[in-house]
Amino acid sequence: MGQGSGKPKAWGGRFREATDAAVERFSASVHFDRALARYDVRGSIAHARMLGRSGIVSAEDAEALVDGLRRVAREIESGEFPFDAAAEDIHMNVEARLHELAGPVAGRLHTGRSRNDQVATDLALFLRDAGRAIRRGLAELRGVLLGRAEEHLDTILPGYTHLQRAQPLRLAHHWHAYVEMLGRDAGRFADAGARLARSPLGAGALAGSTLPLDRDDTARALGFDEPARNSLDAVASRDGALEFLAAAAIAMVHLSRLAEELVLWSSSEFGFVELADAYSTGSSLMPQKKNPDVPELVRGKSGRVVGSLVTLLTVMKGLPLAYNRDLQEDKEPLFDAFATLRDCLQVLCGSLATLQVDSDRMREAASDPMLLATDLAEALVREGVPFREAHEAVGRVVAHCLEKDLDLGRLSREDLQAFHVAFPAGAGELVDLEGSLEARSLPGGTARATVAAALARAGQELEEEMARIEAEEGRAAETDR
């Protein structure tokens, strides 16, 4: 059994015994919720100003509170703030330091406010900034992928299904697929941010306040559209964090798939790319090794972010309304997922921007005539043959070539007509690598002009996304003053 610390409870006269030291250690959160420090001060400044404007505290006291909080903010930004684990959480740390700087007037700051609505507000402010930061990181990675795609518009490689060579593609088309995925990821973060538009501040512990708080005032001051419409919901819900984690988990799965291809493609068996030395490591034993550690770590860290989502879903699933201390467990997985995704985006940008592509090796792998078997079947379809019948015929052609070790592309019209009389010409006339690519000119296809147009459109969308992010960052900076 632990020993009491001798320090009074964080909140007042109800308790006659000090908190057990083991409980203090068990329940303390300042070692991780200090990440909310700047948001806690912002919310407190908005609250203090509203208290003064509403006449709940005097104008002089409100000004003293704001001045003291600004000093606290400067200490936090400079790294000089004296975080104290004994003060339990970031909210008590800020208020305790305000007492030291401003004196007894600091006791007025918590008027009409609970730590329940305080932490919900801090979290919403953090999530809005974190979402923008991730959207910027996604945009930067999309920009790198687009740049490399434009560079390799004429680089041909096999496309794969089941990790078996399937049909030839342009490398630009392949990388554009990830641009599209990451664009949807950015949309998910933007959507989640749109649902963080209502301010929890003023909801109190769960039922609001009897004091004449101006919740519209604090909502506007902090950049929200309006106050949260239900005080219970405002303090009890964490679906904003859940949405962020869900979007982060999906994004990490996309990054993991991209990372897996870098691992495969950089192997001797593929030999399609070589990662720069700055994004690779060696072996502690084998001098010849060059290991793709960066994409391997990205692949591994995807499980970490998926686990963070599962953690918070599990925390939330059985909680009655309104606030429960279980909700303290929302922050560590959230902060970790944010930092992990942010860092993975950064290192993948560098990895992709600097890797070398072996275009010749890719084209050689894509030059197997067997990859054009579908085109051969479609040549029969154009002669009026039902596709299933054409598929069967070409399947027998493929089996014959494999059995006799023949080159599919060299089969004559007579050779092919032994399998179906409708073949109009030899394989060399019916199918070829460049013709196969250019024939796929439907929207979303891999024909050169189609891919170039898709890249141009993606580039325009990316410019528009960056403009939105910068505009949002500008508005956020205004409310931060």
Active site residues: 162, 283
The residue type of 317 is K
- Token look-up 């580039």 returns 459
Sort 391 into a burial class: Cβ within 10 Å, 0-12 / 13-18 / 19+.
middle
Spatial CA neighbour of 305 closest among 373, 247, 249, 237: 249
Tell me the two tokens of residue 360: 């010749």
Sort 161 into a burial class: Cβ within 10 Å, 0-12 / 13-18 / 19+.
exposed
Chain CA centroid to CA 74, Å: 30
- Exposure string of 25-46, with b = 16+ CB inside 10 Å and e = fewer, is eeebbbebbbbbbbbbbbbbbb
What gap in Å lies between CA 78 and CA 93, rounded to an integer? 16
Helices (H), 357-417: 359-366, 373-382, 387-404, 413-417
Are the CB atoms for 136 and 46 separated by under 8 Å?
no
Give yes or no for a cis peptide into 322 (omega within 30° of 0). Answer: yes
What gap in Å lies between CA 342 and CA 65, rounded to an integer? 35
Tell me the two tokens of residue 98: 């305000």
What gap in Å lies between CA 442 and CA 299, rounded to an integer? 33
**CB atoms closer than 10 angstroms to residue 183:** 16
3-state secondary structure of 226: strand
Are the CB atoms for 384 and 422 separated by under 8 Å?
yes
Chain CA centroid to CA 149, Å: 22
337 Cβ contact partners less than 8 Å away, ≥ 6 residues apart: 244, 245, 248, 249, 304, 305, 308, 309
What gap in Å lies between CA 324 and CA 326, rounded to an integer? 5
What gap in Å lies between CA 204 and CA 123, rounded to an integer? 15
Chain CA centroid to CA 438, Å: 35
Tell me the two tokens of residue 252: 């990490």
What gap in Å lies between CA 20 and CA 2, rounded to an integer? 6
